[in-house]
Amino acid sequence: MLPLKEKDKPVVQKLLSAGCCARCVLRFCSVSVQAAYRQNTLKELQAFISDTENTPEPPEDPPCKRVRLESSVTDAAAAVTQEAEEPRVCVVCLGILQEMCSTTQAVKVRAEKYEFDTMVLSVSLPAQLCVREHSCWLHSQTYILDITDDVIQVKEAFKWVMQGLVAKQLGGVAVVTKSAFEVGVEFTHPETDADCHFLASACPDCFKPTKNKQSVFTRMAVVKALEKISDAKFLKHYPCPPTQPTSSCSPQDVQCLHTSVFVAGRYNKFSRSLPQTPWLIDGERRMESSVEELIAAPLLAAFRADGFNFSSSGREDVDVRTLGNGRPFAMELLKPHKSRFNRAEMKQLQETINVSSDKIRVRDLQIVTREAMSRMKEGEEEKTKSYTALIWTQKPIQREDIIFIDDIKDLTLDQKTPLRVLHRRALAVRQRVIHSMNARFLDPHHFYLGLKTQAGTYIKEFVHGDFGRTKPNLCELLKTDADILELDVESVDVDWPPAIPE
């Protein structure tokens, strides 16, 4: 039994006569009961409009209107009978709500081999459906003056019908409103593409060319134009009701998309000839691998992802090692086909990364949320980092010459963008603080320098001065030229990601 009232009969009659399908009729009658769209709606409507014997005539209807409604019953019944025998393409939804493609979608989803428990169904519809719906709405208004409820959108009705069919085809997977896995269906109908064109001259301000759109007739632009155009102007340029199409909308493509999975951890780098990310100069690769790639390869294989984005709490130069507890990193895995890993599986994946190369080591590998990644970025400028550097001096030094370094606290530097990174960073003077230092004498020309600094401090430039671009610098403090021979990152003091016991 359809949830329709007596007042809906004239609407049903006029829409069926105009060439609307049964489900579109329910939409115009604001039927929000999802089950109504899944049953044999056409048969139910036929019974509904045929039941006129016990229906009292409205006492105050003007004669002309009564004649129209009585004659329309016959027309509508004939339309229903014709549609039952030879299905016509709906003038509003262009067949989208008539020809359901659940099997096609299910086959496509299974072929992609995604791992999921729930799914979201999304639909992309041709913009001309808005024009056709507006025309039918005006057509109904001509006869029935009290349509006040919102018309159910084609998208909603499509999902109500499809979610049960798709779930059944996929073995009972729940179709929900929010899920990490999305199946998108895009419909096109070239036969009626020109339906929107009259709006461009009627409301030119609504259609602006954009770089990323192939057509100016986007759904949003068409809706905006329909809100702006007067009924009289619309009826002057477009038929009411819409013309009968000869073909149905066809699903152009079925797209499967799983939201990104984020994996975080900390890495050590033991090589002085390994860049953090692929090193390309003038399009030519300079190093055979990178930290990013050594970590990404096993993750991509395990998650069966299509790609990745790598980020970390700062970066070290190619000739700098990262020791201690390592540097926090995170990797966004794009379109992962597998997304569920327990702690034991993540530990095994961590071990796979570690045995693949002796140049790096990963710890605390875990799946995190997108929101949690902000903790890592907060540490790039706010936290501290500790280093050990091997220093060379031009003039011979004694142990006593470097003792004063231990007493320096919270030394503020003015660092102009280093020459070596000027090609990728804006020219600016940045203030950074060296919180403490300690020196360990080796021989008259070498000593180890330990530093605890504000994140973002350029250590190499502090040592050699970068032609005076960093002040003060170690050369000025020692009153001799100095340079850095080796540099190690000892700690990155960002309390993220959470440590996982070994």
Q: Which are the catalytic amino acids?
A: 317
Closest CA to 434 of 449, 450, 412: 412
Q: What are phi and psi of 244, to 5 degrees?
A: -80, 120
Contacts with 422 (C-beta within 8 Å, 6 or more apart), sequence order: none
| Residue 236 to residue 234: CA distance in whole angstroms | 5
Strands 446-454 and 261-269: unpaired
| Residues 6+ positions from 146 with CB-CB distance below 8 Å | 7
Distance in angstroms (rounded) separating the CA atoms of residues 100 and 162: 7
CB 348 within 8 A of CB 361: no
Task: Determine if the peptide bond prior to 278 is cis (ω within 30°).
Answer: no
CA 465 to chain centre: 45
CA angle 475, 477, 483 (to 5 degrees): 25
Examine residue 472 and say whether the peptide bond preceding it is cis (omega within 30 degrees of 0). Answer: yes
Token pair 């320098």 is at which residue? 449
Dihedral sign of CA atoms 200, 204, 205, 207 in order: positive
In angstroms, the CA 268 to CA 401 distance is 34
Task: Give 251: exposed, middle or buried? Use CB within 10 Å, 0-12, 13-18, 19+.
Answer: middle
Buried b (16+ CB within 10 A) or exposed e, 277-297: eeeeeeeeeeeebbbbbbbbb
Q: Is 432 helix (H, G, I), strand (E, B) or coil?
A: strand
Are the CB atoms for 336 and 329 separated by under 8 Å? no
